Amino acid sequence: MHHTLPLAPQFYVTAPQPCPYLEGRMERKLFTALQGEEAEQLNNALSQQGFRRSQNVLYRPSCADCSACLSARIDVARFAPNKSQRRTARANTGVTRKAVSPWASEPQFDLFRSYLDARHADGGMADMDVFEFAAMIEETPIRSRVVEYADSDSGALIGVSLTDVLEDGLSMVYSFYAPDRPRQSLGTYMILDHIEIAREAGLPYVYLGYWVPGSAKMGYKARFSGLELYFGGKWQTMADPQNYTADMHPLNTDPIAEQVANIQLPDRRAKR
């Protein structure tokens, strides 16, 4: 007889540490391991509930008195580039794209270091060495690709996105690019290109990670039309960015047990 049983991963909470987005705050994450034969299934289900992947871990912010971090995705069917984004697309007509297996290379790491040194020298990843970088790229239990962008004239690598292929879209896990080409707006261009990849593949969404009101680092995400945010247990079309708040309150976040109880887990088939 066939019947279905829910997957039953164990969830944990990290110790509080300084928030990388809002000064003076502490962050905490709810997380679970991503491993085994059902990793793909679990990743799909939890990504649709605001979780993100980092190597073989799925996590979602669960701060004690702050709920500012909101998972963001672009509805490909509703996206229309604005004037600035069309200009960015034109500025990158000489860029070529290649999707490869998740295997780290020396040119990738060199570009990664240049990007960190120029843009995030004081960030949590600033001290990553080549082995940690390789782990970030290669330790994936699901279907992932490294999307490389190169200058068509020189052949130089100028952008990289570690991208997961979900059942309903593309998830841009981590992106970095040449910091000495500001006129090309490479970060924006890579998102625009992923929207095109998703459209060509018939995938409805491009997942961007978290948008945080009050964080200048995350402001660029609000400039994409068709943006949806995950809050209140569902995806909702983004309203005016000014309507969202980063205020703190002890009742902003549900108790951990309640959060875990409300997570919708995928079913798995079992024989009996």
Question: Is the pLDDT assigned to residue 4 strictly greater than 60?
Answer: no
Please, what is the Cα angle at 95 between 94 and 96, to 5 degrees?
A: 120
Hey, what are 45's tokens?
A: 């289900």
Report DSSP letters for 140-177, one per residue: -SS-EEEEEEEETTT--EEEEEEEEEETTEEEEEEEEE
Check: CB of residue 115 under 8 Å from CB of residue 177.
Answer: yes
Check: CB of residue 210 under 8 Å from CB of residue 174.
Answer: no
Find, among 176, 171, 258, the residue nearest to 210 by Cα.
Answer: 171
Residue 186, amino acid: L
User: Is 218 in the same domain as 257?
Assistant: no
What integer is the mean pLDDT of 169-189?
A: 96
Residue 132, amino acid: E
Question: Is the pLDDT assigned to residue 268 strictly greater than 90?
Answer: no
Question: Is the pLDDT assigned to residue 5 strictly greater than 50?
Answer: no
**Pick from 20-34, 76-90, 118-132, 210-224: least confident:** 118-132
User: Is 169 in the same domain as 57?
Assistant: no
Find, among 225, 219, 256, 248, the residue nearest to 238 by Cα.
Answer: 225
| Phi, psi for residue 269 in degrees, rounded to 5 | -85, 135
User: Is 97 in the same domain as 161?
Assistant: yes
Check: CB of residue 61 under 8 Å from CB of residue 26.
Answer: no
If phi over 0 gives left and psi between -120 and 50 gives alpha, with beta otherwise, what is residue 36? Answer: left
Q: Note the pLDDT tens digit of each residue in 23-68.
A: 899 999 999 999 988 999 999 999 999 999 999 999 999 998 888 9
User: Is 237 in the same domain as 113?
Assistant: yes
Beta-bridge partners for 53:
58
What is the number of structural domains in the chain? 2
- Predicted local confidence at residue 174, as pLDDT: 96
User: Is 150 in the same domain as 186?
Assistant: yes
User: Is 88 in the same domain as 199?
Assistant: yes
What integer is the mean pLDDT of 15-20?
A: 91
- Predicted local confidence at residue 65, as pLDDT: 87
User: Is 88 in the same domain as 191?
Assistant: yes
Which residue is listed with tokens 């490389």? 148
62 HSE (CA, 13 A, CB side): 21
- Predicted local confidence at residue 137, as pLDDT: 97
User: Is 110 in the same domain as 134?
Assistant: yes
Question: Is the pLDDT assigned to residue 125 strictly greater than 90?
Answer: no
CA distance 196 to 203: 10
pLDDT grade for 90, boundaries at 50, 70 and 90: very high
**Pick from 27-31, 153-157, 247-251: least confident:** 247-251
User: Is 175 in the same domain as 215?
Assistant: yes
Range of the domain at 57: 2-69+246-271
CA 206 to mean position of chain CA atoms: 9
* DSSP label of 21: S
Q: Note the pLDDT tens digit of each residue in 203-237.
A: 999 999 999 998 888 889 999 999 999 988 899 99
User: Is 104 in the same domain as 152?
Assistant: yes
Higher per-residue confidence, 170 vs 250: 170
User: Is 110 in the same domain as 174?
Assistant: yes
Q: Considering the chain, what is the average pLDDT of its residues?
A: 91
